Amino acid sequence: MSAVTDAAVIPESYFHLHLVSDSTGETLLSVGRAASAQYSVKAIEHIYPLVRTHKQLDKVISDLEEFPGIVLYTLTEPELRNRLKTYCMENGVPVLSVLAPVVRLLQAYLGGDPTPRVGGQHQLDGDYFRRIDAMNYTVMHDDGQHTDGLDAADVVLLGISRSSKTPTSIYLANRGIKTANIPLVPNIPIPGGLDELKRPLVVGLVASPERVVEIRRNRLLGLNATQPNDAYIDHDSVAEEVAFSRRLCARHGWPVIDVTRRSIEETAAAIIALLQEHRRKQSEAP
Which amino acids are annotated as binding site for ADP, given as ranges? Answer: 159-166
Q: Which whole-number Å values give the CA distances from 160 to 110, 240, 246, in the listed order?
A: 49, 11, 10
Strand partners, 267: none
> According to the 3-state scheme, what is the secondary structure of 94-155?
CEEECCHHHHHHHHHHHCCCCCCCCCHHHCCCHHHHHHHHHHHHHHHCHHHCCHHHHHHCCE
Distance CA 224, CA 158 (A): 28
Instruction: Return d(Cα 137, Cα 149) in angstroms, integer.
Output: 9
Contact in structure between 201 and 153 (CB atoms under 8 Å): no
What whole-number distance in Å separates Cα of residue 21 and Cα of residue 49? Answer: 5
Nearest one of 265, 275, 259, 267 to 30, comparing CA atoms: 265
